[in-house]
Structure 1
């Protein structure tokens, strides 16, 4: 079984407050984009996991795909599988690539073994792996809150727009990103702003990580401004960085403008 776990962007990210459990409550819009890994899950005599493409830091045994398999194997007594991951979505880039891989592993195992796990139950499994992992089960635009693992509908109209994702190769861990922020509630309601035309977003739809990370990594601020200079209707950093995105009215070939960076561009669905 072959699946293509896609990335997501954060459109707006307000860090509301620090929780007693050490996590933070946030407000954001998660929006799926087409930059994808490739994930193959097949039956096997013994369990194995192998990854190609972008090097994944840490021990392979800690990969989120393995955690997803181990959870379901324990509850459903699954037979062994072979998992092969081709990693192309940048890591530590604010795109949720690892969470997507884990969520798609859950979906693949559910189909492969005909487990009949409901979508709601799949989301519950995904929440045990990571805060944004559950988003990739339904994989539709949502307003997210609490740890980023609770969802509500959102009125946003950017389907058909052209998006450019630019990753300058800076790895930013979640710990590093949060170390520089001060949590506070936004004076503006994110859902209300995002229901407005995209021309109204600039200056109002903000990512709270940008202030400290732009000061630490000026290249991020320069990349955002370059996207605006190319005609982006809205540009921002995604999640805790380091990927920047620009949303355009029409198609743009951005590759010549960012020759040294990883880049993905396409139509938003």
Structure 2
């Protein structure tokens, strides 16, 4: 029997990078929120571990986070059986939406259902990547440290539009450029951000990575301007990019904006969604 699981995308409703760490990572202060759009995973017990990807050209061996997550859980749980996994890739690659991290976390959660065992899921998740523990929560959170210190937050449900102009941005590159520029920032004003979301007002957030990334990728600037041009508010790049988002008053407004953006920029990936 095959079970299907939803792997939500995320956006950063503000991403402050406080500084570089001796271990090569960075101290972050970010509001991370899961979204109603994402990838999907189909899992079925099998004699061995296998992965197939639909919708994207991705490796299907240990280079893939889903494969590594499945292998790590099966080993930690002492499960002799294997798993047949199909990753249905709907999100653009290297886009700042956390797709790979969400796919990995969803794999861990699914396996915890299929093969229950006394396994430390957060520890496995952090070993896979700094963003993976967040996706275990299935709720908004303030992320600190390298992203592993998570404080659940109640974020008002918000309609929004995502735009990806077809540019892939390496997170490693984005942080390297930030280091070179010394563009570190102060902690976010979390209370002010949440209040603005509640009031449907302009949101006082920032993305510390955005200035250096957009300086090298003009397409992202065009995406931010396009979101403003269709009447959406508070446009911002998510994560290390290249996906940008902006807020709508309602789902209807978001869908109307998507239709206009799809007409004017047919080569872009555009989606209306809301926070979970």
Answer yes or no: same fold by TM over 0.5: yes
1:156 aligns with 2:155: yes
Match of residue 176 from structure 1: 173
State how far apart, in whole Å, the 1-side matches of 2:270 and 2:14 are: 21
Match of residue 255 from structure 1: 259
State how far apart, in whole Å, the 2-side matches of 1:106 and 1:146 are: 22
- More displaced, 223-232 or 85-94? 223-232
- More displaced, 142-151 or 255-264? 255-264
Match of residue 197 from structure 1: 196
Match of residue 113 from structure 1: 115
Q: Is the 8 A contact 2:140 2:154 kept in 1?
A: no
Structure with greater helix share of residues: 2
State how far apart, in whole Å, the 2-side matches of 1:46 and 1:54 are: 23
State how far apart, in whole Å, the 1-side matches of 2:42 and 2:60 are: 20
Match of residue 146 from structure 1: 145
TM-score (norm: length of structure 1) = 0.91
Deviation by residue 1:20-62 (Cα, 9 ceiling, x = unmatched): 1001111110011122212011111222111111222x56331
2:116 match: secondary structure: coil
Match of residue 214 from structure 1: 214
Q: Is the 8 A contact 1:110 1:116 kept in 2?
A: no
Q: State the Cα distance separating 1:19 from its structure 2 match.
A: 0.7
Q: State the Cα distance separating 1:236 from its structure 2 match.
A: 0.5
- Flag structure 1 segments of 5+ consecutive residues without an equivalent: none
Q: Judging changes above 3 Å, is the alpha-carbon distance between structure 1 residues 267 and 76 closer, same or farther for their aligned structure 2 residues?
A: closer
State how far apart, in whole Å, the 2-side matches of 1:239 and 1:69 are: 25
Cα RMSD over matched residues?
Answer: 1.7
Match of residue 226 from structure 2: 226
Out of 160, 165, 174, which is 2:162 matched to?
A: 165
Q: Judging changes above 3 Å, is the alpha-carbon distance between structure 1 residues 189 and 175 closer, same or farther for their aligned structure 2 residues?
A: closer
Q: Judging changes above 3 Å, is the alpha-carbon distance between structure 1 residues 189 and 245 closer, same or farther for their aligned structure 2 residues?
A: closer
1:127 match: secondary structure: helix
Deviation by residue 1:103-158 (Cα, 9 ceiling, x = unmatched): 011011110113365xxx3222211101010111111011111101211133532x
Q: Judging changes above 3 Å, is the alpha-carbon distance between structure 1 residues 146 and 242 closer, same or farther for their aligned structure 2 residues?
A: same
Q: Is the 8 A contact 1:102 1:133 kept in 2?
A: yes
**Structural mapping, 1:11-160, within 5 Å:** 11-56=13-58, 60-78=61-79, 79-115=81-117, 117=119, 121-154=120-153, 156-157=155-156, 159=157
Match of residue 264 from structure 1: 271
Runs of 4+ residues deviating >6 angstroms? none
1:2 aligns with 2:4: yes
State how far apart, in whole Å, the 2-side matches of 1:248 and 1:178 are: 29
- Flag structure 2 segments of 5+ consecutive residues without an equivalent: none
Q: State the Cα distance separating 1:8 from its structure 2 match.
A: 0.3
Q: Is the 8 A contact 1:91 1:97 kept in 2?
A: yes
TM-score (norm: length of structure 2) = 0.88
Deviation by residue 1:214-236 (Cα, 9 ceiling, x = unmatched): 11111211211221221212210
When the two structures are aligned, how many residues end up with a matched partner?
A: 260
- More displaced, 38-47 or 17-26? 38-47
